[in-house]
Amino acid sequence: MARITTTDDRLTVELRGLSRLWALRKGVTAPLAHVRGATADPGARREPKGRRSPGLHVPGIAAVGTFHRDGARTLWEVYRGERAVVIQLSDEPYDRIVVEVHDPRAVVEQINRAVAQRA
Amino acid sequence: MGRPRTFDEQAVLASAGALFVRLGYASTSVDDLVTALGLHRGSLYQAFGSKRGLFVAALRRDVDAGLPELPPETDEAVASTALDLLLVAVLELAPHDSEVQGLVSAAVAVLADRYPALGPDGPATLLGRRLLARAGHASAPQPSRPGRT
């Protein structure tokens, strides 16, 4: 599970536990101006992940790390995936972040509201 | 980055609007959208940012087009995807989404403009009647207005 926080102008996605090891990252932070939106999307877990660099990929079990597919660079941290949230970015090293959170509905609303208030 | 857009955006927005009307905003999953629109998931996110972004784009398209294919003022049972999408926006998104609130206001202005005979409460009357018609409830015939025969 990732921890997602928003401030007046930034979004921070924090990886925890072993995920940091697999992804070789503590997380991602981006200005809200570069966040295009968030969606609760449990079906995202079944998407082909693409090429990993670096990351852990055990199909059906876990996808954690940086993956490249169709020219898009995505940070994945998905184990079971029922609570996956997709965050689309622009002009950032990552095009997309797909992580699991405890309460997808609340997180999605929080991000989209923060983005709207800034705009 | 990602691959350049290779789909007909207008057709995608029309199909997305019809799906949101059929299933409601909250119940429409990205799986539903990907299947109905024939888009890759990545393309959907790349083009619209989120499910909300897609909904807002579909609603904005209707509002910009002056809410196409509105029913005649005497027959709210005539289905209008634009009117029904507006109802979904009013019920599900507008209460907590200021951008959707703005689009709803613009749509209400379009309705007031289009149905001057219904008076200042025209948009409310029309939306209320359409809501009841969707629920299978036929409105009573409209009373004749003073000054008309």
Q: In this predicted model, what pLDDT tens digit does every residue of A62-114 receive, in sequence order?
A: 999 999 999 999 999 999 889 999 999 999 999 999 999 999 999 999 999 99
Residues of chain B contacting A86 with CB distance shorter than 8 Å: 30, 45, 50
> Does the distance separating the beta carbons of A42 and B51 come in below 8 Å?
no
Contact A70, B2 (CB under 8 A): yes
Mean per-residue pLDDT over chain A, rounded: 95
User: What's residue B101's pLDDT?
Assistant: 97
Which of A39, A72, A95 comes nearest B51 by C-beta? A39
If you measure CA to CA, which chain B residue comes closest to A105? Answer: B26
Identify the H or E element spanning B62. Answer: helix B51-64
Q: Which residues of A touch B (CB under 8 A)?
A: 36-39, 41-44, 47, 69-72, 86, 88, 95-96, 108-109, 112-113, 116, 119
Contact B20, B55 (CB under 8 A): yes
> Does the distance separating the beta carbons of B30 and A86 come in below 8 Å?
yes
> Does the distance separating the beta carbons of A72 and B48 come in below 8 Å?
no
Structure confidence by residue, pLDDT tens digits, A29-74: 999 999 999 999 999 999 999 999 899 999 889 999 999 999 999 9
Chain A to chain B Cβ contacts (< 8 Å): 65
If you measure CA to CA, which chain B residue comes closest to A34? Answer: B49
CA–CA separation, A41 and B88 (whole Å): 20
Residues of chain A contacting B97 with CB distance shorter than 8 Å: 112-113, 116
User: What's residue B68's pLDDT?
Assistant: 84
Work out the minimum CA distance from A105 to partner chain B, whole angstroms.
Answer: 10
Is beta strand A10-14 parallel, antiparallel or unpaired with respect to A27-31? antiparallel
Phi, psi angles (nearest 5°) of residue A89: -115, 165
Q: At B13, list the tokens.
A: 């927005």
Q: B18: how many CB neighbours lie within 10 A of its CB?
A: 15
- pLDDT class for B135, splitting at 50, 70, 90? confident
Task: Give 3-state DSSP helix, strand, coil % of chain B, rounded to 5.
Answer: 65, 0, 35
CA–CA separation, B27 and A96 (whole Å): 23
Q: B146: how many CB neighbours lie within 10 A of its CB?
A: 5
CA–CA separation, A79 and A88 (whole Å): 20
CA–CA separation, B29 and A49 (whole Å): 20
Contact A65, A23 (CB under 8 A): yes
When pLDDT is averaged across residues B135-140 and rounded to a whole number, the result is 76
User: What's residue A5's pLDDT?
Assistant: 97
User: What's residue B49's pLDDT?
Assistant: 98
- pLDDT class for A14, splitting at 50, 70, 90? very high
Which of B2, B29, B97 comes nearest A72 by C-beta? B2
Q: Is the pLDDT of residue B34 over 90?
A: yes
Which of A47, A71, A119 comes nearest B3 by C-beta? A71
CA–CA separation, B76 and B54 (whole Å): 27
